[in-house]
Chain A
Amino acid sequence: MDRIPILRMGNLLLVTIQVDLYDRLALTLEADLVQMVNKTNAKGVLIDISAVSIVDSFMGRIIGNIAGMSKILDAETVVVGMQPAVAITLIELGLPLKGVHTALDVERGMNLLKSMIDDDSNDDNDQDVAEDDLIVE
């Protein structure tokens, strides 16, 4: 069976979809990716769809699902490289992909992911400090 490879880069997961998605492939990717987030404690997922020429309602839903599931597992998802024609089609279809972060290319997507992850860890640190203060008092 076909599978889309998932690469690990530090605490990020990198997926480049090089073929046109069909339903079973998209479902397999969804399951694999969520498993990988759990297994590798990834903090971020970057999905490059620059080679995907068709995203219909089902695949759009899968992309939304991946973002939602990763979020629950404490990982951010950024979708990069969407073709303009795909963006036009998705909006006309009625699927604005709410809740999915996007960036124009891989570089910007990486920066966005890193900033989101940094913000998160800063928040955590702030909280830690506050707790420490409490203990001192």
Chain B
Amino acid sequence: MILSLSKDSLEIIKEQDVVYAKNRVKEAAVKIKMGLVNQTRLITAASEILRNMMRYASGGRCLIEVVTRGRDNGIRLTFTDKGPGIPDIAQAMKDGFSTGKSLGLGLPGTKRLVNEFDIKSIVGQGTTVTILKWANG
């Protein structure tokens, strides 16, 4: 069972908020003594999702949680937006697919960087992405 030890909810509206959110994620990762490579993976993953949120939904919320399962500690990030939603998630998770003019690596790449990845979306209501990275995972 995964327990949440601390919660920190941030509002993401401006580009500065993205920088701030990434710093807060880094602080949390350092606090649980996550290794440098895993920290880099986690922050890069957060960066991808935050960009998607800014680009397609013009902002949203980011919840940073320190979680624990037995002896493992980790960071769970939940990104919630009220954007247009993703009609075909399977397609969005494919490498190279993008409705914007990007490389289409964001979502599938993010999934490869973290231990757990979950995406839920309702067209017209918004999207929620949850990622989890264990300190030693």
Contact = CB atoms under 8 A, between A and B. Distances in A.
Contacts of B119: none
A94 B105 contact: yes
Contacts of A57: 48, 102-103, 105-106, 109
A95 to B, nearest CB: 6
B37 to A, nearest CB: 5
Interface string B38-64: 011101100110010000000000000
Contact of B44 (A22, A84, A93): A93
A56 B46 CA distance: 9
B102 A53 contact: no
Nearest to A56: B47
B75 interface: no
Query: DSSP majority for the A interface?
Result: helix
B40 A95 contact: no
Contact of B41 (A61, A83, A89, A94): A89
A55 B44 contact: yes
Interface residues of B, number: 24
A89 B110 CA distance: 10
Contacts, number: 65
Most chain B CB atoms below 10 A, which of A23, A55, A57: A57
Interface in B81-137: 95, 102-103, 105-106, 108-110, 112-113
B113 A92 contact: yes
A8 interface: no
Contacts of B22: 20, 54
Contacts of B40: 53-54, 83, 85-86, 88-89
Given A55-B44, A92-B112, A24 B105 contact: no
B36 interface: yes
A77 to B, nearest CB: 19
Contacts of A61: 102-103
B41 A56 contact: no
7 contacts: A53-B40, A57-B103, A57-B106, A85-B36, A89-B37, A92-B41, A93-B44
- Please name the 9 residue pairs, one residue from A and one from B, whose CB atoms are nearest each other, closest first: A93-B109, A85-B40, A56-B47, A57-B105, A85-B37, A89-B44, A56-B44, A94-B105, A89-B40
Interface of B: 15, 18-19, 22, 36-37, 39-41, 43-44, 47-48, 51, 95, 102-103, 105-106, 108-110, 112-113
